[in-house]
Structures are given as structure tokens and as C-alpha cells.
Amino acid sequence: GNSVTQMEGPVTLSEEAFLTINCTYTATGYPSLFWYVQYPGEGLQLLLKATKADDKGSNKGFEATYRKETTSFHLEKGSVQVSDSAVYFCALTLNQAGTALIFGKGTTLSVSS
Amino acid sequence: DTAVSQTPKYLVTQMGNDKSIKCEQNLGHDTMYWYKQDSKKFLKIMFSYNNKELIINETVPNRFSPKSPDKAHLNLHINSLELGDSAVYFCASSRSVGDTEAFFGQGTRLTVV
């Protein structure tokens, strides 16, 4: 079946540290891949996306590259800030009628100053 | 202007009651969704409507009934509430069926006591 696996959290970092959150997927067909972020007490916001292999999504200093050969979409940021503390969800969609976003279990990031 | 809005934001109710959560989007999107986020932050699709037509109906108890009076609204009615229904319910919309990006509401935290 179709699924998303992301690294277990919580991830605890100091400000300005390098961040990697691993995400791998299993999908039939050619999915689009996403990272969503959920700040405390808020809904989900799209952070970045990639719709085909080798595409790189980027936003707010975060990046992720769609790697078809390793079925991965790892999230990275070179220097995290306290304000990046949130839950990060990797997700895919199959771009077909009758489908919806399939989410990973979420990774909680906590950044301290 | 809020793109996807849900009411209420918090809902505390007793077991056995019937309650509704309302969702409206002003993005002109054709497709709307309900997701459930459990206590471990896991998100799962429940229902999806496209132009008032049900297109996704995942395995949820039939105590849950979505209703879409028009394509801008998707309400969720829950009968005979149980303790296990406690969760955060998110409404979302996308431009069309299978579209790559979904916009989420702020969520409704339902607590059944």
C-alpha cells in the first residue's frame, strides 16, 4: 500500500544547529511529496512540496529533494531557530481522483536558545 | 480573511451526545476533506467531498456523517459520542480532486468526557 515513514521524535536541537528529518515513502504510481508544519495550537501549514523526481522544494530556509531512487524526501535546514519548534509532517498524494494526503506520524522538533 | 475556517475551535461534551463541527472555505475550491488527528499526532483522512459529492469514505464508524450543503461548506456530525472520539478534527480543501496542495483549517479539539 501507500505509506510514509518519518523518523521518530522528539528532535531536540540548539539554536543554529543543522536539522535533518528523514522521510521515506512507498507509493504506487508517481506521488507528489510534501512537508507540512504544525505550530503549537495551530493547524497545518504547507512548508514545501515537490511534484516530480529530482525536484527540490524550499521555503523559509528549509529544503527537501524528491529522490525517486531512494524513495526519500528528507527535510533539512542549515541553522534552526527557536521559532522553528513545531511538529513536522511528511506527506504524499497520488494525484488521482478519490485520493487524499497520506501523512507520516510527525516529528516534533524542539529548539532551545 | 481566513481561507478555511472551522467552528468551534474547542468542544467538550459528554458521552452519548450528538455534536456537529462546521467548516467553510472561501478559496473557491471544489474539494473538501475531514481529517482526524489522534493523541499521538497521527493524521488520517476520514471523508472527502467534491462539489457536494462524497468521493472518499474511509473506514469510520457510521456515527460520523459528513454533510456538504454546497461546495464551500463541509460539516461533520457525530452521533452518540464515545470517549475514543476525542481528537483534533481538521477540515481542509483543495482546488480539485487529486490536486497537489491542501489548505487546512485551525482544527477543532473535541474532548468527550
Instruction: State pLDDT tens for residues B100-109.
Output: 688 999 999 9
Average of per-residue pLDDT values in chain A: 93
For B1-46, the pLDDT digits (tens) are 679 999 999 999 999 999 999 999 999 999 999 999 999 889 999 9
Q: Over 80: is that where the pLDDT of B99 sits?
A: no
pLDDT digits (tens, 9 = 90+) for A28-67: 888 999 999 999 888 899 999 999 999 999 999 999 999 9
Would you state the pLDDT for residue B100?
65
Q: Average model confidence (pLDDT) for chain B?
A: 92
Which of B98, B101, B104 is facing A96, going by the closest CB pair?
Answer: B98
Label each residue of A40-105 as H, E or C.
Answer: CCCCEEEEEEECCCCCEEEECCEEEECECCCCECCEEECCCCHHHCEEEEEEEECCCCCCCCEECC
Partner B contacted by A108 (CB < 8 A): yes
Confidence tier at A24 by pLDDT (50, 70, 90): very high
Closest Cα in chain A to B96: A97
- From B41, B48, B105, residue closest to A105, measured CB to CB: B41
Taking the C-alpha atoms of residue A79 and residue B29, their distance in angstroms, rounded to an integer, is 36
Least confident of A22-31, A68-77, A90-99: A90-99
Percent of chain B with pLDDT over 90: 73
User: Which chain B residues are closer than 8 Å to A101 by Cβ?
Assistant: 33, 35, 43, 45, 92, 102
Confidence of residue A95 (pLDDT cuts 50, 70, 90): confident
Tell which of A3, A37, A103, A107 to mutate to test the B interface (max B CBs under 10 Å): A103
User: A77-107: b or e for each residue (b if 16 or more CB lie within 10 Å)?
Assistant: beebeeebbbbbbbbbbbeeeebbbbbbbbb
| Residue B101 to residue A46, Cβ atoms within 8 A | yes
- Once rounded to an integer, what is the mean pLDDT over residues A80-96? 93
Per-residue model confidence (pLDDT) at position B101: 81
Residues of B in contact with A89 (CB under 8 A): 43
